[in-house]
């Protein structure tokens, strides 16, 4: 396996963890929220993150690597913190949306860092996939932020 393949696999495996974190984070949001439309939105976003992770895993296999299959430690810790925090603050709409936005902030950062590594190491074979998924992460972030701002305005 070439060094470029190893680097590409490393970048993709980091993004698989990020996608798995998003999948679990949105699933948790869907469980925590009462509002039916938000519950459906979060469930859909969780499924989209799962599909993104599967796509990344397929690419890792195509490059001859072993794809990541789990969430990150930091994502697990964040979800546990959200669970503890929600006991004290209640699971109101704005609080859940705040945590969803924080998760999407993390995902955006991870995808932007991945693109920097792709450029630095000239990993052109995975650029289109990562850029396309970055656009989805940006869309999710912007939608969650807009919904959070609406909830804040109603409060």
Q: What digits encode the pLDDT tens for the residues 118-150?
A: 999 999 889 999 999 999 999 999 999 999 999
By CB atoms closer than 10 A (0-12, 13-18, 19+), residue 19 is buried
Q: pLDDT for 9-58, tens place per residue?
A: 999 999 999 999 899 889 988 888 888 999 999 999 999 999 999 999 99
**Domain residue ranges of the chain, discontinuous segments joined by +:** 3-154
Give the span between the Cα atoms of 147 and 41, in whole angstroms: 11
Q: Say how far apart CA 23 and CA 21 lie, in whole Å.
A: 5
DSSP conformational letter for 64:
T
- Non-local (6+) Cβ contacts of 136 within 8 A are 48, 52
Q: Which two tokens stand for residue 77?
A: 């810790």
Domain 3-154 bears CATH identifier 1.20.1260.10: yes
């Amino acid at each position: 396996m070439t060094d470029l393949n190893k680097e590409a696999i490393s970048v993709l495996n980091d993004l698989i963890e990020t996608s798995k974190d998003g999948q679990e984070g949105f699933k948790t949001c869907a469980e925590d929220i009462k509002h039916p439309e938000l519950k459906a939105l979060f469930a859909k976003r969780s499924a989209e993150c799962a599909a993104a992770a599967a796509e990344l895993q397929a690419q890792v296999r195509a490059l001859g690597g072993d794809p990541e299959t789990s969430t990150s430690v930091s994502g697990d810790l964040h979800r546990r913190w959200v669970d503890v925090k929600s006991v004290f603050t209640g699971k109101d709409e704005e609080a859940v949306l705040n945590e969803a936005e924080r998760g999407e902030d993390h995902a955006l950062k991870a995808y932007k860092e991945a693109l920097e590594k792709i450029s630095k190491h000239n990993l052109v074979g995975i650029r289109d996939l990562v850029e396309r998924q970055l656009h989805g992460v940006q869309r999710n972030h912007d939608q969650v932020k807009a919904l959070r701002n609406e909830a804040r305005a109603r409060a």
